[in-house]
Amino acid sequence: MTHLRRIMLEELQRRHYSEATTQRYIRFIERFAQHFHCSPDHLGRQHIREYQAQLFTVQKLSPGTVTNHLCALRFFYIQTLKKPWSIADTPYPKKRHRLPTILSQEEVAQLIDAAPTAFYRTVLMTLYATGVRNAELTRLKISDVDSQRMVLHVQGGKGRQDRDVMLSPILLEELRAHWRRLRKRSSVWLFPGNRWHSGDQPMDTKTPRHACQYAARRAGIKKKVYPHVLRHCFATHLLETGADLHTIQILLGHHDLKETAIYLHLSQRHLHATASPLDSLVLKGRSQPEG
| Catalytic entry in 25, 77, 120, 263 | 263
Q: What is the DSSP letter of 188?
A: S
Q: Which of 133, 139, 178, 232 is catalytic?
A: 133
* CB neighbour class for 82 (10 Å; exposed up to 12, middle 13-18, buried from 19): exposed
What DSSP element (H or E) covers 163?
strand 163-166
**CB neighbour burial string for 10-23, b if at least 16 within 10 angstroms, e if fewer:** ebbeeeebbeebbe
**Is residue 95 among the annotated active site residues?**
no
Exactly one of 158, 163, 218, 270 is catalytic; name it: 158
Q: Which is nearest to 130 in space by CA: 11, 249, 23, 231? A: 231
The neighbouring-strand residues paired with 214 are none
β partners of residue 153: 164
For residues 70 and 61, what is the distance between their CA atoms, to the nearest angstrom? 12
Instruction: Indicate the SS3 state at residue 189.
Output: strand
Catalytic-residue membership of 121: no
133 belongs to the catalytic site: yes
Can 263 be counted among the known catalytic residues? yes
Annotated catalytic residue, options 69, 121, 197, 231: 231
Q: Give the CA distances from residue 176 to residues 89, 113, 180, 232, in Å, rounded to whole numbers and listed in that order.
A: 54, 18, 6, 26
The set of catalytic residues is 133, 158, 228, 231, 254, 263
